[in-house]
Structure 1
């Protein structure tokens, strides 16, 4: 199958290319940096004028022996566990054991006050400690009803089913999620275990919610029934392999349902690893995880456990995250795992929208229902329509352009919330509210409080047509129908705006590839209506899992790592605005193409190139750039000799603020050791590609592109690459907090913590500002009646850090050789927003060295300071410039 050229990709979907003004290609000597093509999005901020506490609560403890799935001996792992329990008891570590792991991760998860971290870190046998992340069920975006068939067509999955006869039969797919409604007819119905869903387990119970304020709800109540009461997992499973009113990608697969969420709320990472070990025990072929935690490193336990699953013979597919609106470096575990297929989302090409008819013209008007407003009737007509303008009465002081009392209000989208527009019209007496889009296409209006009046959204074109009729003097009404119509999405085939951007914090290229995830219609629990339309990378990941099942059915010998290479080699790079190649760190290799992967006779390894940072040194302050040379191995698996031609396409770059970067067109280059290479049948050849960065040191540029290899037999494969243009360690990691509107808080600071009625609040010593702003005067922390008043270090992370250490300094300034780390937490993720904080406690102890041993000691009352050493991402420990440091003002410990 010959693949479509990149430039023609949207045309092949039946979409008209949009025109965007093309800025000139920037050059490295431009003093103001790259010329912005467009902002990625608006910078996110906190929902309130306050700090957002992102401090973790529980912890993973990793021990030294390799887990059994990676070669560790079971006896050695058991010995590790026993030794740790003894050592922790002897060290006085106060903790509660949650879960014990042996196969994919060697160690434990524990509940423990963060004041115990210093003792735990120094316990014999502990290799590493990781903060436990809570993982919420990814919140979907409701959407117009699309046709699942168009999503299948986007990846050629329909061709694989109808022309190649592939269904995924015989392949076992694990879905780790909220469970599956096994009674749903699209899965064959019946009582668990069923023919389609013979495997599964509920690790948590209906009432479990890791984020609940009720301690009882945070305790898992596992059982053997993986019935879904939330909905997300049933929707995901339908995309993988429903066979009914919804047709999934691989309708013949056998499912394992591993439930890690209750009916609402979040789960925790240790429960995910327990489910992974169960999937391994059940000998699943593929694991889909449409869940994850953004901003995490590839060494996080859910990522390394996933890598261990791949080593054990399982294809692991995971959503890359829905944090694209929070900026770059927002990908998360487990999708950032080295061997995991991390999946980005593209929007579906078509929506099936409900249909009304404008009278008297008879014009068809597709519409979506405003979120949380009751759907209009399927017959009858509205009252006559009147155009009232944008309807921002409360926030912007608008006066409605006309009186809608007893009529249908036509409102313009923009400048205030959908709820304000709807409520303003209803308050003025409107009997129905129609909001017209201000850009092409339909939209999904959310956050509306139903007032018993129908509320819908229509396209810009429909709104303009109705306004023209009204201006012409016609009494325009909408006739409701029970029909639907297919409408082209203006963003169809493009990266979904919610889909997380890479790179991984270690500059590994993530995501790996993309699939349809925006506006996907799939199965839903019968108790919730049976079907729903949701958006998210959660919907893209199962599409790839289903595709992997089809390819495994066709060739059971495809290796677990080979599967990702195959899908990347044959993916189609997607476009931005129909014109430019989308960022590589937004799409990976591009949209998967199942028939192309099935028919591929050419492969290239490595299938992606992570370039790292381009500035390797400075001479008299000027950056020294170093090109990166990679050897590509081109394999010809056909039965005839093929001559391959090397080519290169540049993709868009991002630059600037981590939380709100801009897009730019930058001119990187690729040079080959040979522009053509002839490879005999069944053999391979090596070609070197040398990639030179655009040369924009200091602007935090992430750039990328595609190596294109075209055979004279019509074969086409691509290899994506991406890197950081500049000195990566120039990024400031620990920065002040931005509350918006120019309000900044200078952190870090030392604080005390108080439990308030609704949330945890950090009490700065000077109520007018931060501690550091208070002039550095000392304060006293009182241990009253033995109850500790611990000091906390509060910090905001503008970027991920590779190591984070807190040391203790006494009143005489002694640290070296006397006191060591109070807390050493290893790699940490960046804050989610510009107002995010994390807090780290000091328990009043330190370690004193005596020869080659370390003794933990409780320090006497007196004056102290806490000192931060943070190693920047990918930093050199021996280079002082790669560390950020901070020393607190003096404070006093007074126990009484």
Structure 2
């Protein structure tokens, strides 16, 4: 038997498929990470037995009556019982989603879609607790500068806004209700819920809940209660950005909070818990919902995104982080931020950080103590002596009474510090080898240790340039510029949405943000992530709604996008190129500009789709809400394009924009229109391009912009099913802990895991997948009509260039033609399976839009 082995591991978590339709039977669905050799690490899919069941009729939020919705559920339960389908009902939804979440075995799942009234089934994704970047000890994100980056300080101090009267829901790990910055009673824990600031909320899961089956603390049992207090920290940090009012002053310091806790103290939650929390926030009448949660590589059709869109349609503004998968390339944005009407938020790095201050020849130098350093003095000092990288022993006594300045690189910080201290140094400075501050660890206390701190590259170079540098320790702290301040954060996810909608929508400070944290964990912390940028927008929406209470929720995103400020490319900002629209959206949030805007341009963004279709024309409506006529000159500017998918490369764009008129005059209280025709960029291959339509007033006044973005050429030219180094797709068998590639003599008993598995790498999201069962002898379908298995829709791409999905076949075929039929076993014999994948936005009638693969011969030999 011709075989290759792939080792499997069940200790990691990867994504489940976004939606498996009707009769998808993904037995042992797995996700893996292939290496450049035969060894591949594979993991069981999250929530492999947990599924959403969507019923045909609309939910209450879409106009159906609660009586009808509940009657549909009763009919489903009765039909399922009559059909003998066995499952455990987890949650039932009426308002934002009409259906259930259930726990069901793979074999029973094959029958699920045959029940009358079922529209579709989707996997209930297991969502990891948001992971935020934590800066090194002694480096504190400056919240005041973050507020100034968005104009929130102007909105507060000049416009007198604080979010009063606006209810903001935070779906997260809860909020520390004892925290004084939320009006709590402090560390004695005597605060009772609800409080003056946190008036709404619910704990859906309890402290011990953890949905991650690979975790040692796995506990899928929820123990809900009425107190959404926080023990994880993330939610308290997010809420502080929205509206803390104490040591930290958030964006909208007088909002009323709703805390909807969906995570335990550690670990993961599930998408059905999220929808339950969304329905409660909706029923509580919250004005704004912040979700610093997401599932990367998704489609906007996933239930959490659809539920979020329904909330917007019913009058709530929904804001969500777009994700922290920037290292994974394009199309990595997450749901629910991908929702059509959701404000999906990217992250920019904070402009400044707070650090302790020393002076060198009178010049302030910011520093951060290394972990395991002795306490840093606040007086005294000494001469500073550069010692290179200090990776080798230094002459004994050469640094006696002096302070060593070592450069980062080549060896561990502890080695540098030890060498300097052994040479007599009274303290050690270690300068960065890239721009900006950093934190570090010595690994362990150093014998006869002395203070060891990190400083920036710029400060290190400035000291080296001094003739006789002398350092003096102080008891002060100060705000210092961040080298990456105002640029897109390295972790921030790329769009576009797989349906080529423009995502993300807007950006805000998310890298290096100082905010509240649970009292038992230090009360304050500096974290980074799109989790931190999203609440900047949610708090700003509260200010906007306070200033303009008649603003329709569906218009809020347009208003914010019109006044946002695009930023330069993070890779080389001095070159002057604007960063990708499909990474920064409309640009940096400017809430003061949005509140003071007298013009509204709709739509607030333009998705041009596939370049293959040629020029794209969009009619913009320009509404003048001011008291005087205004004339706008129309122009455009291109942002950088990117090629590739998993590993994007930046290039300039040759897209052009033409206008039906070079300028437009709008009378007060009236509207005018202009047609914008965008001729798409012609390079790079498989690329995304974008730019901004710019409306500049002929007199003094605000400039408004509308971002546009699209795909270069033929979208279906992107390879979808690609081989990777392992040559996928494979027909494989699962033997204990490893997959084995099977090329010949592939016989299966169909007992337990002795069944065919198919390992497939998706380079890009796919619209649809099916597998056709053919007789091996004549390659004819096993039935003229009913010959399919593994029918799926809206499949995400793999997270890496070598990852893969594993799909299993249990020897059955779908015996249904859109109605409710049944699944039938194919008899023992020899077969091949034809894998057919329709590319994203593909035309099913165009053969070029399908990827196909035919398996080796599979022999079914049931006992």
* TM-score normalised per structure 2: 0.88
Match for residue 150 of structure 2 among 150, 155, 163 = 155
CA distance in 2 between counterparts of 1:113 and 1:792 reads 17
Matched, 1:135 2:100: no
Partner of 2:353: 351
- Is 1:312 equivalent to 2:303 in the alignment? no
The one-character-per-residue Cα deviations of 1:675-703 (angstroms, maximum 9, x if unpaired) are 1122222111111010011212x611211
Q: 2:612 maps to which residue?
A: 615
Distance 1:710 1:362, change over 3 A: closer
Any conservation in 1 of the 2:413–2:440 contact (CA below 8 Å)?
A: no
Q: Deviations over 1:641-664 (max 9, x none)?
A: 2222111111111113x1221111
Displacement of 1:468: 5.0
Secondary structure at the counterpart of residue 60 of structure 1:
strand
State the match for 1:581 in structure 2. Answer: 578
Cα shift readout 1:810-858 (whole Å, capped 9, x = no counterpart): 3343325254322222101111112322212222211346997743112
Q: Superposition pairs for residues 423-438 of structure 1, below 5 Å?
A: 423-425=414-416, 430=421, 434-438=429-433
Show the counterpart of 1:30: none
- Per-residue CA deviation, residues 531-562 of structure 1 (Å, 9 max, x unaligned), is 00111111111011111101111121111111
* Match for residue 701 of structure 1 among 663, 687, 712: 687
User: 1:593 & 1:235 partners in 2: Cα distance?
Assistant: 22
In structure 2, distance between residues paired with 1:374 and 1:277: 49
How has the CA–CA distance of structure 1 residues 258 and 611 changed in structure 2, closer, same or farther, with 3 Å as cutoff? same
Residue 180 (structure 1) aligned with residue 175 (structure 2): yes
Cα distance in 2 for residues equivalent to 1:858 and 1:789: 16
Determine the structure 1 residue equivalent to 2:197: 196
Change (3 A) 1:428 1:117: farther
Matches within 5 A, 1:402-801: 410-414=405-409, 421-425=412-416, 430=421, 434-445=429-440, 449-451=443-445, 455-468=452-465, 480-576=473-569, 577-578=573-574, 579-616=576-613, 626-656=614-644, 658-696=645-683, 699-713=685-699, 714-737=701-724, 744-753=725-734, 761-765=737-741, 771=742, 776-783=743-750, 787-801=752-766
Q: Is the 8 A contact 1:404 1:429 kept in 2?
A: no
| 2:288–2:319 Cα contact (<8 Å) kept | yes
Matching of residues 67-78 of structure 1 within 5 Å: 67-78=59-70
Residue pair 1:520, 1:533 contacting (<8 A) in 2 also: yes
Contact 1:386–1:404 (8 Å) recurs in 2: no
Q: Structure 2 unaligned runs (5+)? A: 1-32, 185-190
Q: Distance in 1 between matches of 2:457 and 2:836?
A: 54
| Cα distance, 1:433–1:211 mapped onto 2, change above 3 Å | farther
Name which of 836, 839, 842 aligns with 1:875. 842
Aligned partners of 2:641 and 2:310: how far apart in 1? 33
User: Equivalent residue for 2:10?
Assistant: none
SS in 1 for 2:253: coil
Change (3 A) 1:842 1:45: closer
Aligned-partner Cα distance in 2 for 1:195–1:176? 19
SS of alignment partner, residue 807 of structure 1: strand
1:295 aligned residue: 297
Task: Give me the whole-angstrom Cα distance separating, in 1, the residues matched to 2:271 and 2:364.
Answer: 49
TM-aligned CA distance change 1:789 to 1:533, over 3 Å: same
Mapped partners of 2:464, 2:217: distance in 1: 56
Contact 1:303 1:337 in 2 (8 A): yes
d(CA) in 2 for partners of 1:402, 1:298: 63
Aligned residue for 2:326?
Answer: 324
Is the contact between residue 46 and residue 833 of structure 1 (CA under 8 Å) also seen in structure 2?
no
2:43 corresponds to: 53
CA contact (8 A) 2:210 2:218 kept: no
Alignment deviations for residues 356-408 of structure 1 (CA, whole Å, 9 cap, x no partner): 345xx4553312345x55674344678987656457xxxxxx75677899987
What is the number of equivalent residue pairs in this alignment?
A: 802
Q: Residue deviations 1:737-758, cap 9 Å, x none?
A: 3xxxxxx111111223356xxx
| Secondary structure class of the residue paired with 2:484 | coil
Gap change, CA 1:850 and 1:832, over 3 Å in 2: closer
Q: Distance in 2 between matches of 1:840 and 1:858?
A: 18
Q: Displacement of 1:506 after TM fit?
A: 0.5
**Length-normalised TM-score, structure 1:** 0.85
**Contact 2:210 / 2:217 at 8 angstroms: preserved in 1?**
no
Distance 1:347 1:851, change over 3 A: closer
Could you tell me whether the CA contact under 8 Å between 1:288 and 1:317 is conserved in 2? yes
Query: Contact conserved, 2:404 with 2:420, CA < 8 A, in 1?
Result: no
Query: What is the rounded CA distance, in whole Å, between the counterparts of 1:557 and 1:369 in structure 2?
Result: 50
Distance 1:659 1:450, change over 3 A: farther
Cα RMSD (Å) of the superposition?
Answer: 2.7
1:116 Cα deviation after fit: 4.4
CA contact (8 A) 1:322 1:499 kept: yes
Distance 1:867 1:503, change over 3 A: same
Deviation at 1:296, TM superposition (A): 0.5
Q: Counterparts of 1:124 and 1:412 in 2: how far apart (Å)? A: 69
Q: Is the 8 A contact 2:511 2:528 kept in 1?
A: yes
Deviation of 1:789 after TM superposition, in Å, equals 2.4
Contact 1:389 1:400 in 2 (8 A): no
Task: Give the Cα–Cα distance (whole angstroms) in 2 for the partners of residues 852 and 541 of structure 1.
Answer: 43
